[in-house]
Structure 1
């Protein structure tokens, strides 16, 4: 099956095309990434179309969509998840939502901490044992993240805050997103992992 992958939970605006064989083997056919925390809305569609073109496919060739559901900032997640849902509806194909941290952690081995930028001097984090999530996702100041990991992956500047050997995975990848899907038979409803309230708040006049 040909799968479109989308992730906008981090500053990387990622779109990819992955072929998943009947035996579960995954091959990334194309990937377009723009690293810009303010360009999710502007860059996602061009990246999707570019990845499809690079793979030599059209939207009609897609059998499903896999999208990262965070944790991440409100605006970024909304762009990615709304786009994934729109593609799924328009093409009548299933949409599979996964934890974006899982898309990084699933390809690791040993005790690994995965962190991404949560702003406000905090990180989104989850801990993995041989690719399976054993704790999180959650949001905390780096000093409050529970200990126990032997290595760290994810956002380089935030991984550097932990005195652990660093692994290569930085952002969710197309093959990682596909590998993070737990159930191919029945996609679960798409639920964003905000983990906290959005930064923007209604004014007093609006609340009244």
Structure 2
């Protein structure tokens, strides 16, 4: 019985982590598309400003042209790197992994709730199904696991009619936010850099 409980907890945690990984990758896909679109529009704006004489004259035309070419190269390399991430397809695949693990977790939860004693053959079959599912898909990241662990801790507290201390949740939220910021910070930084350059070269009368 204890072996089923342990396996259920492990499968449930992994399932939550895979769902969180799917959400993270979906967000990556959304941010990458809109960031690249914004930077492409920024390139067009930078090319049009000198033609329409909307620059303030403090930045030389040669420097503007050089920076415009530099941004074009950066956007090209950036788009290639983000394209290699294949976030949308990966999100769908890892979500499927979460579904399969969720199904396995529900079966194990039934056995746990019914207090069904485990035998070696059945237990090994569940173990084999678990690892076969893991091997078919990519793994989640460490911060996906942090989110899953936090959610699982809160779920267990609700089932036992207890509560998790606020500082525990705050500590885990801070850790998760640090990981998320590190992974997503290049999107706002890219948008900010090209926006500041456009603001720098544009005419004060515009």
Name the TM tier (shorter chain).
under 0.3
TM-score of the pair, normalised by structure 2: 0.25
Larger Rg: 2
TM-score of the pair, normalised by structure 1: 0.25
- Quick one: higher RCO (CA 8 Å, sep 6+), 1 or 2? 2
